[in-house]
Amino acid sequence: MTDFGRAIRSRFLLEPDIAFLNHGSFGTVPRDVYAVADGWRRQLEVNPDRFIRETLPPAIREAVGKIAPFFKARAEDICFVDNATAGVNAVLRSLDFKPGDEILSTDHAYGAVANAIRYVATRTGATAVFAEVKMPASSADEIFSAITARFSPRTKLLVIDHITSATALIFPVERLTGFARERGVRVLIDGAHGPGHLALDIPSIGADWYVGNCHKWLFAPRGCAILWAREDAQKLIHPLSISHDYNHGFTAEFDWTGTRDPAPFLSAPAGLEFLRELGVERVQKHNRALALSGAQRMAQRWGEPMNAPPELLGAMASVRLPPSWQKFGAPVRATARLLCQRILQRDKIMVAIMPSAGALWARVSAQVYNEPADYDGVVNFIDREPPDTA
């Protein structure tokens, strides 16, 4: 059995001397998967015309066919999109909203997704409603109640995260979807962090659409996400780029949206293979335990709260930064970014510093190449002055 931590680090291209605690933002591609993507690019380049016209269409479907069972889904209900942002936008911008309609999401929605909701609301006269979910969160019941309390007879669409980005909370998506569907409200799940991170049975969640990045926790090259649509919800949506196969069906429309690099899509099965080689459950268990123990040590040392109890956490967790680190030298988002940069320069730690609920939080991720020692530098923040962000 392959050992994790330092022992597996050589299978990634990561700089050798940094504690890389932010798999959650953009993932990291294993060397083997990188080589597979390179192989696809080379195969394309020797005769782009033949590859794009003949090889690519079935190859895309074959790649979807290889990963669909991992999500307990049918290949005909899944398309590749470039990223979660594109998938969410395709759904939001395809739907018809009327003045007075409400699009319901939460104040934990990813910034880009919240903007897409606002954009669509502004263009159609609909109202964007963002339910407040308390931070730190205390239970799935509390999250469920906070969101369901904001349903109204005008709610037309619920957009919820499976795992929130900055705040790293697992939302009770099945229960929320059930509640929405009983009221005839359609549901779009932003599962940017779902694939590879959680054991997924996408159809049984019951949503209309599920978007998930493969380039985070499924080890695919960047630029690879899935858009799953329930059969009856497929005809309602179109890709952001309308192309040759407009109105020729869900998979045809999304499989060709113009010329692009198809290597990330075609390499997604290699990412899944890598995960399987290491053992899917073993990886998920390892990552969750490591993120949790790292965050628990930070919280204990700093005397600050974690984002949530363990049952709401996966392979990411966050802890509020100590008071001495809560001085904003610039607007809070800019301070957060500057802190990340300075911590990397000073401490060789890549950790996500994120604003939430009026404070800055350190979000740590855990992946197979991490080990407990990687978190020590963050735990010891309390002994250090924060880097200057002025």
Ligand X SMILES: Cc1ncc(COP(=O)(O)O)c(C=O)c1O
Stretch that binds ligand X, among 61-69, 110-118, 137-145, 315-323 (CB under 6 A): 110-118
CB of 25 to ligand X, least distance (A): 6
- Asked whether position 320 contacts ligand X by CB under 6 A, the answer is no
Stretch that binds ligand X, among 78-86, 167-175, 317-325, 329-337 (CB under 6 A): 78-86
- Asked whether position 226 contacts ligand X by CB under 6 A, the answer is no
- Asked whether position 253 contacts ligand X by CB under 6 A, the answer is no
- Asked whether position 336 contacts ligand X by CB under 6 A, the answer is no
Given a contact cutoff of 8 angstroms between Cβ atoms, the answer to whether 267 and 36 are in contact is yes
Q: Which is nearer to ligand X, 146 or 382 (CB)?
A: 146
Q: Which H/E stretch holds residue 4? A: none
- Asked whether position 91 contacts ligand X by CB under 6 A, the answer is no
- Cα–Cα distance measured from residue 235 to residue 253, given in angstroms and rounded to the nearest whole number: 11
From the list 56, 126, 129, 192, which residue makes contact with ligand X (rule: CB under 6 A)? 192
Subset of 122-181 contacting ligand X (CB under 6 A): 161, 165
- Asked whether position 313 contacts ligand X by CB under 6 A, the answer is no
- Asked whether position 307 contacts ligand X by CB under 6 A, the answer is no
- Asked whether position 115 contacts ligand X by CB under 6 A, the answer is no
Residue recorded with tokens 């990886």? 283
- For 58-97, give one letter per residue: b (16+ CB within 10 A) or e: ebbbebbeebbebbebebbbbbbbbbbbbbbbbbbbebeb
Q: Which is nearer to ligand X, 26 or 246 (CB)?
A: 26
Q: Which is nearer to ligand X, 191 or 322 (CB)?
A: 191
Given a contact cutoff of 8 angstroms between Cβ atoms, the answer to whether 358 and 347 are in contact is no
Given a contact cutoff of 8 angstroms between Cβ atoms, the answer to whether 267 and 40 are in contact is yes
CB of 54 to ligand X, least distance (A): 30
From the list 83, 155, 318, 367, which residue makes contact with ligand X (rule: CB under 6 A)? 83
- Cα–Cα distance measured from residue 327 to residue 346, given in angstroms and rounded to the nearest whole number: 18
CB of 196 to ligand X, least distance (A): 13
DSSP letters, 79-120, are EEESSHHHHHHHHHHHS---TT-EEEEETTS-HHHHHHHHHH
CB of 163 to ligand X, least distance (A): 7
Which amino acid type is present at position 49? D
Q: Which is nearer to ligand X, 110 or 274 (CB)?
A: 110
CB of 182 to ligand X, least distance (A): 25
Find, among 310, 387, 308, the residue nearest to 353 by Cα: 387
- Asked whether position 353 contacts ligand X by CB under 6 A, the answer is no
Using left for φ > 0, alpha for ψ between -120 and 50, and beta otherwise, residue 27 falls in left
What contacts 359, CB < 8 A, 6 or more positions away? 320, 321, 326
Binding residue count for ligand X, defined by CB under 6 A: 13
What contacts 186, CB < 8 A, 6 or more positions away? 95, 156, 157, 158, 180, 208, 233
From the list 213, 251, 307, 370, which residue makes contact with ligand X (rule: CB under 6 A)? 213
- Asked whether position 190 contacts ligand X by CB under 6 A, the answer is yes
Residue recorded with tokens 């309308």? 242
Instruction: List interacting residues with ligand X (CB under 6 A).
Output: 25, 83-85, 110, 112-113, 161, 165, 190, 192-193, 213
